[in-house]
Amino acid sequence: MIILDDHFHVDPFHGLFLEAVKQFHRAGGTHLMVVYKSAHDYGFPGLKVEDFMKAMDFHIGLVERINKETPVKAYAVVGVHPAEFAYLAEKRGLKYAKDEVRKALEYAQRLCLEGKAVAIGEIGRPHYEVSPDIWEASIELMKYGMALAKEADCAVQLHTESFDEARFRELGEYVREVGIKPYKVVKHFSPPLVKVAEEVGVFPSVIASRKNIREAISQGNRFMMETDYIDDKSRPGAVLGPKTVPRRTKAFLQNGLFTEEDVYKIHVGNPRKVYGIDPEE
């Protein structure tokens, strides 16, 4: 059975790295979307485009190691985290930060075109209060990242403040404005608003808590499951632990909340459509 966690971080300096992936595998997990953390986490200052490029290359190297050294199939998602942009804008000014991050996103697009990554992410806007200038610029960069993804025919994973129906509708307007295919825009850390997301043209990657997944599946199976595991020893099991997606999937199948068809759609059909990957090969 194929089981995919759609948003998982690894960190060889602060976390368990391969051990976390092995835990995922022992629980029954098979496929991972491994998402870039930050230049800073990977040992680069995050002050210029070259720092972000080196950090993305480093991230690709981590994904290659997972594929060589564990039985799990990992795919890379690369971008610039909105918190990195906000930090740089405060430190070096808005215009400078925007230019550097734009160039970094173009590099992320190149990695997708070269087949080294399958999506640009996580990009978006900060989940905490920032100045109106930084907020507006973050939205601009998010749309730029979506436009790059559209051009490369790859997906984007979006990081945002906590979401509700109104914000999904706002995001839907950006999707239409950019003209990217609606199933190529993944809302990471999504609440279980499966129907609203489909209506506005966004693909939800739902945090795999019991309550969320129960609500999500009651609305349909057009979603993916994630832990947003951050792999930081000082925050073990945050946001959810590495075993959560396989454990929850199996439990839901056992207690009848998922059918076999649901499991196949969530872990194979949906990722195939969104990322253009073939988890079955």
When the beta carbons of 100 and 228 are compared against Zn ion, the nearer one is: 228
For the chain, give percent helix, strand, coil, nearest 5: 50, 15, 35
Residue 264 CB, nearest distance to Zn ion (Å)? 26
Distance in angstroms (rounded) separating the CA atoms of residues 205 and 223? 6
When the beta carbons of 198 and 228 are compared against Zn ion, the nearer one is: 228
Distance in angstroms (rounded) separating the CA atoms of residues 60 and 134? 29
Burial class (CB in 10 A: 0-12, 13-18, 19+), 32: buried
Residue 2: φ, ψ to 5°: -85, 130
Confirm if 248 and 27 have CB atoms less than 8 A apart.
Answer: no
Residue 256 CB, nearest distance to Zn ion (Å)? 31
Helix (H) / strand (E) element for 248: namely helix 244-254
Residue 7 CB, nearest distance to Zn ion (Å)? 6
When the beta carbons of 41 and 228 are compared against Zn ion, the nearer one is: 228
Residue 119 CB, nearest distance to Zn ion (Å)? 13
Using alpha carbons, list the distances in angstroms from residue 8 to 238, 242, 269: 11, 8, 19
The 26-65 contact track toward Zn ion, x by CB under 5 A, reads ----------------------------------------
When the beta carbons of 221 and 244 are compared against Zn ion, the nearer one is: 244
180-239 positions binding Zn ion, by CB under 5 A: 228
When the beta carbons of 221 and 228 are compared against Zn ion, the nearer one is: 228
SS3 state at 112? helix
Tracing tokens 């608003």 back to the chain, one arrives at: 193
Residue 9 CB, nearest distance to Zn ion (Å)? 6
Q: Total number of residues binding Zn ion (CB under 5 A)?
A: 1
Residue 271: φ, ψ to 5°: -60, -35
When the beta carbons of 152 and 240 are compared against Zn ion, the nearer one is: 240
* Residue nearest Zn ion (C-beta atom): 228
Residue 244 CB, nearest distance to Zn ion (Å)? 14
When the beta carbons of 128 and 132 are compared against Zn ion, the nearer one is: 128
User: Which contacts of 21-25 are long-range, i.e. CB under 8 A and separated by 24 or more positions?
Assistant: 21/66, 21/70, 21/72, 21/74, 21/242, 22/70, 23/241, 23/242, 23/243, 24/72, 24/242, 24/243, 24/245, 24/246, 25/70, 25/71, 25/72
Residue 188 CB, nearest distance to Zn ion (Å)? 6
The binding site for Zn ion (CB under 5 A) comprises 228
